[in-house]
Every structure is written in structure tokens, then in C-alpha cells.
Amino acid sequence: MEWGRIASRTSLTSLMILVACAPSNALPPRLQAEFSGFTYAGHDPVFDGPPLGDGEMWNPILTGFYPDPAITQVGSDYYLVNSTFCYFPGIPVWHSTDLVHWTQIGNVIDRPGMLDFEGLGLSRGVFAPTISHHDGRFYVANTCVDCGGNFIVTAEDPAGPWSDPVWIPDVGGIDPSLFWDTDGKLYLMNNDEPEGGSTYPGHRAIWIREIDQQTFQPVSAPAMIINGGARPQDKPIWIEGPHIYRVGNEYLFSAAEGGTAKGHSQVVFKADKVLGPYTPYPGNPILTQRDLPESREDPITSVGHADFVEDASGNWWASFLGVRPYHDDDYNTGRETFLLPVKWKDGWPVILEPGERVPYRLKRPDLPAETAPSLPTAGNFSVTQEFNGDSLPPGWMTVRVPHGKWYGFRNHALTLNARPVSLGDGGQPSFLARRQQHMNAEATTEVSFAAGSPGDEAGLAAFQNDAFFYSLGLSVNDAGEPVVRLHRRAGDETPRNGQVVAESPVLAPAGGPVSLKIAAHGANYDFFQGDGHGGWAPVALAQDGTLLSTHVAGGFVGTVFGVYAQSLDNEPALQ
């Protein structure tokens, strides 16, 4: 697909169609912030060294917060989706023809009314989507956790538009997945409590039932096909992310096991009938990194939640999630999407043998090379977003579903209404963001904003969730003098807008725009403002970045960099 056509389609089905109209003219001018450009740059040493050869590719294929990948093939095209929890638009849809270069062509959840995330913690919402294709139609099965349960949406074109959700109230639990058998029957699998209830923490089961192909409602009683996991005697935890594949005359079942932290893994089973009984592979797990020494350099951990796809040459590949910690289990980039070949061993698929490491550099699939996308997703790269159009790329997001019109474009700038909602309110602030995709990363922007009181602020944020973030904003002090102020929120016990940890007079010429920069170096984050001469002056250095890690902040999301504007009544005292 050509980028021009993709951009045109996504501008109709992304966040722009919802709230990207010009801000209300009724607002005072000082309550509108203008951002002229946004640059993201990432440089991790692991991607240095010799340039990639003609037959090589980088892992991960989608850097940054792109968890729970599911993949499907339609002819020479491959499509992949990820979880987004309570970010909006939700469930990115990716396209590739070579499994190496991926272009986001849209989002499944792209308009108000499809789902409602109001009042939810950021790591609720849409979990673990699966994508499939049958008889000319695409299907995404998913769970909206605490917001409706399991549902299915469909589309003729994976770029959208997608249908409104069809809810399946009789199917509980999470992680629904579809399988079409050769006899034309459609089955739905899901994770839920085992028959008789759980007997230990994390004890779950996989259920299957036939569903109607039009209404998606069950037409058969559910059958429990996996109880606990590959070795029930060991009390395995969190069997989830189920998939079934027809391989010859056998049914191959694959699922994640062990939880999504360091114990994560992938296990497989076989059966002669779709309803089982299923026999586990004696060599399970077929993918994990939990058996490797913790002292290894450049570790990739927590791998699992795999989905298989067969390429045009008959080779099998697995997409799966993993993380790249900078220390122990601290990582700010969230769960990322990786790709590895599948090797067949005595009729069983194996992604990695015990003790093998997930490689950063690997041999690419033997498929015709696709042109690199204009927005790269792998290795080291730099991207500048010029706000000179009337839309944002589909990778930009906000938290929860927006209500009303609070951002737009004017004079080659992105405009945000400064509303009385802070980043920590657990609501829907004026905040637009893109993912942090490297341990070592920079985000820069230039903001114009005429604050009238210390509660008026606009700037740049490193945001993990409502309770853990840094915000670097342009405001005024009590004397009405322009300042750049750094807030930090490190848990629910701190003020919703965060505590002020640093404040500096604005160095840019009076009345002009102010440049802001956040630089991440693993566990340390530095914050800068423009010095008025084309350079940078520190506002605060070596701030604790571990509070932006999933290990500290909890949940399932990763850090994002974004622009915000707010107008609040009270300002926390400098601490």
C-alpha cells in the first residue's frame, strides 16, 4: 500500500475524525497552546555496530509499547494488531508484505460510542486482541475489561472502518480467539476460571465453544480443553492468549503461560479433534527466557503471547511480546513486538530451544523486500512530526475516549485547549502522545502559551499512567513572570498534578515560543528548556526514571512522550 493512500484513510478513521476540529473560539486566547513541531529520536547501543546486511533484520519489529501481538496472512499481505488498554484510538492495525517493515494503516477502536473507558485505570480496557480473516472479511475478537466484556468487530478493509462491537455476554473471562474449521464451523476460545473454580492463585483454563457466524453467539455448550497448563501437577499460572491452527489432520493449540513477567512462556498441545483431548508437547515451553542467567548483557525478558503465521514460502514465523529492561525488571518502553522463525521438531513447532536467547539481529524472511516505511518501527531512528496538515499519524493517542473538541491545527501548529483536567486526574486531559521506543530517547517540541496564572500550563510530558509521570510545562509564577516548571507524580499519595521539583525563569525572548526537551537515559531522565541561543539549558537532571517503569508503576502499558495543556485552580507548592 502507498503511504499517501494509507494517510488519507487513517485521517478519516483515527482520532482526527473525532476531536481534531479547531478549538472553540469562545476560549480566551491564553487558554490555547500552540506546538510547532515534535521530534522523537532514539538511540540504543544494542542497535549499533555493523549495518544490517541485505538478509538481516532487527528485533523487536515494533519497538515501544506494542504488546500482545496477533497476526494473520491474506495472500502476500500480513496484518498485525496490539493491545492498547485505555488509550484511544485503540488496537493499531499494521500491514506488511515482508514481515520486516510494518506500516500502521489504522486503528480498530477509532470513534466514540464503540467503547467507553471513562473512570477506568489506564491498564484496563482492551486486552489481547486477535485478528483473523475468513471469506473476504477481517475479524478482531477482544475483551473490554471492566467495560463490557468480550466482543467481536469486523471489517471488509483492515484499515477500517470497523463495525460496532458485537457483545458476547455468555462468554466470560478474557482473550477470545476465533478458529474456522475445515467443515465451516466457527469456534471461539477464551481464558476463564476452570470447572469447579480455581484451586490456587493464577489457576485458569481455556474453554472452547461453537458460535454462530452471523450473531457470534454460542450455539454449543462450552468445553474446557486446557486446565491449568502444560504440566498441571506443577500448578502453572495464567494460561491465556489461546490460538488453534489446523496442521494437516491435526489441531495445534498454542497459548501463553506463566504470567507476563519474567516467568512468561509459550506452550503447545496437539489433538485429533478440535474439542480435544489435547496432549502437551513434552519439550514445553517452546519459548521462554526464564532459564537464562540474569547477569547476561542486553537481556530480553518476559517473552510469550505468541501467534503463528505461515509465509508464502511455507515457512512459519512467530510474533510475540518481550521487554528490554535497562536494569533487573525495570523497563519504560513497555512490552514490545518481536519476530522469530519457527522450527519444526518431531512434528512440533519450536521457537527457541532451552537456553537460547532472543536475538536482536536475525535473518529476515525470504520474501520480496518492502520499502522502508516513512515512520520506522525498528532499530535506531529519528522522526519529526510537522503539524502542517489537518491530521496526526495513527500512532498518536490520548488517554481514554475524548468528549468534545479540544485540539486542532492552525498556522502550521498543533493547538490544545487548556482545560481544567490535569494529567493525574484519571480523566480525559488535553494530552496527545506517541510511544517512547528506546531506552535512550529524546522528545522535543516548541510551545507558545500565554499563561495567566500559575495554574495555567502547557508543555511536554513523559507519562506512564495517571499516577506516574513527569510534566515539563510553560507557566508563570505568583508574580506573573514566565517560568518553566517540572512536576513529578510518583504514586497516588502525591498530588494529582504532581509535585513541583524544579522551576526556572524562561530564557527564550519575551513573548516568543519556548523549546522544551526530555532526554531519557535508561533509569535517568533529564529536562531542558531552550537557552534562547539555539542551545539547551537544564531545568533538572538525573531525575529518577524508574517511576516510569512498569515494574514500579504497575499495569501493562509503557511510557509515552506527549504534549499537554491545562488550566487548574491550584498549584502545588515548590518542594
In a domain, 55, yes or no: no
366 included as an active-site residue: no
48 in a structural domain: no
Same domain flag for 276 and 222:
yes
> From the DSSP assignment, how many helices (H) and strands (E) are in the chain?
3, 40
pLDDT digits (tens, 9 = 90+) for 506-539: 999 988 999 999 999 999 999 999 998 899 999 9
Among candidate residues 296, 298, 304, 295, the one with its CA nearest the CA of residue 261: 304
Q: Which of 34, 44, 68, 456 is catalytic?
A: 68
**Which CATH number fits the domain that encloses residue 553?**
2.60.120.200
Domain that holds residue 327: 66-363
Place of cell 512440533: 348
Residue 104 lies in a domain: yes
Q: In this structure, are residues 252 and 189 in contact, taking their beta carbons and an 8 Å threshold? A: no
- Identify whether 538 is part of a domain: yes
**What's the pLDDT tens digit per position in 3-17?**
333 333 333 334 444
Task: Give the predicted TM-score (pTM) of the model.
Answer: 0.93
Does residue 388 belong to any structural domain of this protein? yes
The whole-angstrom separation of Cα 526 and Cα 517 is 8
Residue from 98, 110, 175, 240 carrying the catalytic annotation: 240
Find the angle CA(144)-CA(148)-CA(153) to the nearest 5 degrees. 65
Inter-residue contact 214 to 232 (CB < 8 Å): no
pLDDT digits (tens, 9 = 90+) for 474-496: 999 999 999 999 999 999 999 99
What integer pLDDT is reported at residue 405 of this predicted model?
A: 87
> 569 pLDDT band (50/70/90 cuts)?
low
One domain, residues 83 and 146: yes
The backbone region for 437, taken as left when phi is positive above 0, alpha when psi lies in -120 to 50, beta otherwise, is alpha
The answer as to whether 371 is a domain residue is no
Which residue spans within 60-148 are E strands per DSSP?
70-74, 77-81, 87-88, 90-96, 103-109, 125-134, 137-145
Domain annotation covers residue 21: yes
- In the predicted structure, residue 350 carries a pLDDT above the cut 60: yes
Please check whether residues 336 and 248 belong to one and the same domain.
Answer: yes
| Per-residue pLDDT reduced to its tens digit, 324-334 | 999 999 999 99
516 vs 514: CA distance, rounded Å: 6
Looking at the structure, do residues 351 and 411 belong to the same domain, yes or no? Answer: no
Q: Which residue type does 396 have?
A: W
pLDDT for the residue 473: 97
Boundary of a domain, candidates 309, 338, 363: 363
Confidence (pLDDT) at 523: 97
Q: Would residue 68 show up in a list of annotated catalytic residues for this protein?
A: yes
Please give the tally of structural domains in the chain: 2
Q: What is the phi-psi region of residue 226: left when phi exceeds 0, alpha when psi lies from -120 to 50, beta otherwise?
A: beta
Domain boundary among 310, 332, 363: 363
Q: Are 160 and 94 part of one and the same domain?
A: yes
358 and 390, same domain (yes or no) = no
- How far apart are alpha carbons 238 and 254 in whole angstroms? 13
Which of 305, 337, 363 is where one domain is finished?
A: 363
CATH assignment at residue 148: 2.115.10.20
Whole-Å CA distances, 435 to 378, 427, 454, 457, 542: 13, 20, 29, 22, 21
The pLDDT tens digits of the residues spanning 213-268 come to: 999 999 999 999 999 999 999 999 999 999 999 999 999 999 999 999 999 999 99
- Domain assignment present for residue 49? The answer is no
